[in-house]
Structure 1
Amino acid sequence: MAFHPTNARTCGRVSAADGDGDGERPSKKARHRNTTSLIRPASRRVQAPAPVVDRRREAATIAYINAHAERKDKLLVSSEQPHVRLRADAMRSLTVPLSQDGPERKISAVVLDASIQLIQYHVSKNGRRVLLLGVEEQDWLQYLGSLPRTAEHLTEQDVADMAATAGRYLENDMVFFLVNHKEHFFTAALDFGKGEYQVLDSGNYARYNGARFYEEAMSEIRRGVGRCMKEAGRAHVAGWKLRLEAGLPEQTDESSCGLFALKWMQLWDGEELARSFSMGDVHAFRTKLAEELVFSEMNRMQEVKEEIESKMTQMRFK
């Protein structure tokens, strides 16, 4: 049965429990100190080479995660710069088969943010500099956007952080935001060259919900960006419109919106996707992501990698 977005309950992040079972998320202010819309017609899709896949290591990674799936104390991914912690119970959602489509397959914001921080899909797109930001950035911008407009409600540190945020954004041609709204993930790309926010979402979700859903989701984020840009003398950015991109691949399950959001970040260049993909590719991406996270060069859990590689020698493949 095709995915009907208005009935979706399972494609958002785990809320308050993110910091307990999934991994570690510092407070939005502390972590930040660490470092009616127009619809654009579908553009021509350019096929880029598909990534090389190591099926044996993927299968061994999935088996290893499943073996430790109930353990909240089993650390599988650990990095200091950036600061990332992922435990086995958080990564279990990447191993659940489609036959169990539902709450167990939903991917939390912690896993998605770790993916953005540890897996560098692109440092540039067609020569354009890009910045990829996760749900933690959404928290920060919504905090700013929710504050009263008067300056006395801002601390000196807030003002310094806002200026630093604007500086980071303006070093790039495009800034990608991972957005969670009403338990649904999508991507918004701030394009400085075109002076607009481009909204990228699984096709039928956008069709059923329309512009109002995205205007509501982005309202405080846009105000937060506007406050930061004001500190850099670019206050007009706050008035840039949302443009909902049409003709994108469609989601047909109830739990993969976060993976689609990562795909937009990976493949969108401001005009088109570098490579078209299907729902089947997204299902495959789920298990590939588990392997990429564990075997990231920044993951310091070498014993986990060694145990998985040892398991590979014991598995039979067709």
Structure 2
Amino acid sequence: MESLYVGLCHNKPKKSAATAIVLKDYICTQGDLALIDFIKEIPCEPRVEVVLIDAAFVERKSMECLFQPNAYIGDEVFIPINIRETHWYLAVIHAINMEIQVLDSLGTSQDRKDLTDSIKGLQRQIDMISQRKELKDHRWPDLQVASWPLREIDMGYAKQTDSSSCGLFLLNYIEYWTGDELSDSFTQDDMSHFRKKMAAILLSSDLNKRRGCLLYKNDKEVDSVSPSDVEILENSIDSKKRKLLHVLHDSEVVYEDEEGPITQADLQKWFVDDWDKRAPVKVSNDGCTNDFLMVGLSTKDMPVTKADSIDVLCDYIMAIEDDTTLEMTWVRSFNPFKIEISVKDLQNILTINQDMILRCFDMAVRLLANKESRRPKGEIINNRKHYMDMRFWRMVGFGKLPKYHQDSTAEELAKTLDCWPSMNYYITGCRYVLLLWKFNGCHALFVIDHVKKHVTFIDFTPTQDWCKHMPYKRFAEAIIMASKKYKIAYSKKRSGWAEDIFKSEHTIQTGVPIDLRGFNTSYLVLQAMSMWGIDRRMKFVGDAKIVRRNFVIDLLGYEDNSCRYAIPANIQQRLIDIAKKD
């Protein structure tokens, strides 16, 4: 295999070079094609890591978009501005001209809300840094970036003519933009070649630690019920990187960087005592303070909103790098079975390109049931619904070979229909049973209506080619398996019950959002479960970032959390402040 990598390189000139691009710079060589053919033979499942450059990795499945001529290029783009996870364009902060340049392969636009929001965030960071130390050595004529005008750049021939090459154009904009113009020209035809060429560049890079030694990964999600099942492959933490630690005394080190150690007392001086000389703030010394969490967020002209507070708290969680802290359990629930959520799990929830792991999803359903118990009694009685977590799906063993699956007993199946601890009902008094399912890593929902003897399928993934002529085929095997086990479970609760939900009337729910990449199906299913049975049209929140961050706040604020004591006091206080903004 190593011989495939020899002699492969990307010869496109850098933007500082005067050499013009020629067609061959975008076209794969015979060596490139041989390497790509080798990688294409590797199946997407199980997970195989084929590129590792520093801390960034690419798996075989993610590289599939480079092998398909019209696939959308997504998460590997550097310094992007993204519009609703569907389009990439480049923003260039031009300090000399004091302007924000916009390079968009689809042309100019009057609406740049995504960009203006990002610039506001950048301004906050600049303001925060300038409060810590005086920025004397910068060469920018003005640090008020948010006041700089936006200038739309006409990209001429360097524009896309399809609906999927924006990411490829963005990469070339980054490489060839000089600040005034593109040092070389390229067109849609070049991108058609460059799409596959980029796969060869990543695979053959000297920086790729997986070059010649691919890493095959186990599917952790299905079997990750216990934290002990997680295997740590390598420690990527650099000792020179700043680490967030729990501290108790002023003399203890909070950060350590090239300039030396920074103590809790230093933080208090920079972020608290020197923050507003007109109104000094008194803070406690037991860890990072609330004021440290909120530094740079509130200004006279920009009051702190609930969304701002949530953003700052979630950014704080994402900044934690200390291994000990990441392994700490911050959320724990015992009833009806034990679930533990670690700081690392919270970071995974906040990572946009990862769907929810099973224990977090089970915990989310538990939160829904707890919220259901607070609804007006009249609403609950009229359309009472039972929330099922993923235990039933795991017991059915859908997608597993028989030799790897042990059938559950009738008693175990029946437990999935037990009343939730925070409520008081019996399953036979429920009109709806919300049964969760999973297809190829994506979540779906089956709504069983016992009054109308009807089953509604709610799926948030695109209809696949093999079942477009008959969409119900996608659910056939699942509903057959589910109906057999459901009959066993329900008959334990209602003696003599022998109905078959497979023979019920079936409907596929229309008008639901489609998650093209499958990263947010769990969050969409949870929204559907919450809204089902309410006499109005379901309205989904499409912003994945907002949904994920709100879920983290719900987890940390869970009233029956037996591990609340482990959450740092400053974060607990921030959660209280967020709750007051409702």
TM-score (norm 1): 0.68
Partner of 1:221: 482
Where in structure 2 are there 5+ consecutive unaligned residues? 1-71, 73-85, 88-218, 231-304, 419-425, 577-582
- 1:235 CA displacement: 0.8
Secondary structure of the residue aligned to 1:265 is: helix
Distance 1:201 1:69, change over 3 A: farther
Secondary structure of the residue aligned to 1:63 is: helix
Q: Does 1:308 align with 2:571?
A: yes
- 1:237 CA displacement: 3.2
Partner of 1:261: 525
Equivalent of 2:507 in 239, 243, 246: 243
Equivalent of 1:299 in 556, 561, 570: 561
Distance 1:303 1:207 in 2: 45
Distance 1:270 1:224 in 2: 28
Q: Contact 1:91 / 1:290 at 8 angstroms: preserved in 2?
A: yes
Q: Contact 1:252 / 1:279 at 8 angstroms: preserved in 2?
A: no
Distance 2:316 2:392 in 1: 31
- 1:201 CA displacement: 2.0
- 1:240 CA displacement: 2.2
Q: Contact 2:330 / 2:566 at 8 angstroms: preserved in 1?
A: no
Larger RCO (alpha carbons 8 Å, 6+ apart)? 1
- 1:26-175 counterparts in 2 under 5 A? 54-68=306-320, 71=323, 73-82=327-336, 83-97=338-352, 101=353, 105-119=354-368, 120-123=370-373, 127-142=382-397, 158-161=409-412, 168-175=426-433
Over residues 69-107 of structure 1, what are the superposed CA-to-partner deviations in whole Å (9 max), with x where a residue is unaligned? 67452111012234321112222122224xxx3xxx221
- 1:159 CA displacement: 4.0
Q: Contact 1:84 / 1:114 at 8 angstroms: preserved in 2?
A: yes
Secondary structure of the residue aligned to 1:235 is: coil
Q: Contact 2:384 / 2:431 at 8 angstroms: preserved in 1?
A: yes
Where in structure 1 are there 5+ consecutive unaligned residues? 4-11, 24-52, 148-152, 314-318
Secondary structure of the residue aligned to 2:500 is: helix
Which piece of structure 1 moves more, 293-302 or 122-131?
Answer: 122-131
Over residues 22-77 of structure 1, what are the superposed CA-to-partner deviations in whole Å (9 max), with x where a residue is unaligned? 99xxxxxxxxxxxxxxxxxxxxxxxxxxxxx9324422441343234674521110
Partner of 1:20: 227
Q: Contact 2:447 / 2:456 at 8 angstroms: preserved in 1?
A: yes
Equivalent of 2:462 in 189, 202, 205: 205
Secondary structure of the residue aligned to 1:185 is: strand
Q: Contact 2:333 / 2:339 at 8 angstroms: preserved in 1?
A: yes
Instruction: Count the aligned residue pairs.
Output: 259
Q: Contact 2:329 / 2:566 at 8 angstroms: preserved in 1?
A: no
Partner of 1:290: 552
Distance 2:314 2:475 in 1: 34
Q: Contact 1:21 / 1:87 at 8 angstroms: preserved in 2?
A: no
Distance 1:228 1:94, change over 3 A: closer
TM-score (norm 2): 0.39
Distance 1:271 1:311 in 2: 35
Distance 1:171 1:305 in 2: 42
Over residues 97-122 of structure 1, what are the superposed CA-to-partner deviations in whole Å (9 max), with x where a residue is unaligned? 4xxx3xxx221111111011134342
Distance 2:228 2:342 in 1: 7
Residue identity over aligned pairs, in percent, reads: 12
Secondary structure of the residue aligned to 1:138 is: helix
Distance 1:60 1:174 in 2: 39
Distance 1:297 1:184, change over 3 A: same
Higher helix share: 1
Over residues 175-225 of structure 1, what are the superposed CA-to-partner deviations in whole Å (9 max), with x where a residue is unaligned? 1122112111011111111112211122x5247652222222333222100
Q: Partner amino acid for 1:176? A: L
Question: What's the Cα RMSD here?
Answer: 3.6
Q: Partner amino acid for 1:194? A: K
Q: Partner amino acid for 1:244? A: I
Decide which structure has the larger Cα Rg and report it: 2
Secondary structure of the residue aligned to 1:93 is: helix
Q: Partner amino acid for 1:247? A: G
Distance 1:131 1:13 in 2: 28
Secondary structure of the residue aligned to 1:234 is: coil
Q: Contact 2:386 / 2:433 at 8 angstroms: preserved in 1?
A: yes
Distance 2:484 2:361 in 1: 24
Partner of 2:121: none
- 1:302 CA displacement: 3.3
Distance 1:230 1:253, change over 3 A: same
Secondary structure of the residue aligned to 2:515 is: coil
Distance 2:363 2:229 in 1: 11
- 1:265-280 counterparts in 2 under 5 A? 265-269=529-533, 273=537, 275-280=538-543
Q: Partner amino acid for 1:288? A: N
Secondary structure of the residue aligned to 2:452 is: coil
Secondary structure of the residue aligned to 1:264 is: helix
- 1:230 CA displacement: 3.8
Over residues 141-170 of structure 1, what are the superposed CA-to-partner deviations in whole Å (9 max), with x where a residue is unaligned? 449xx99xxxxx999xx3444566667532
- 1:311 CA displacement: 6.2
Q: Partner amino acid for 2:355? A: K
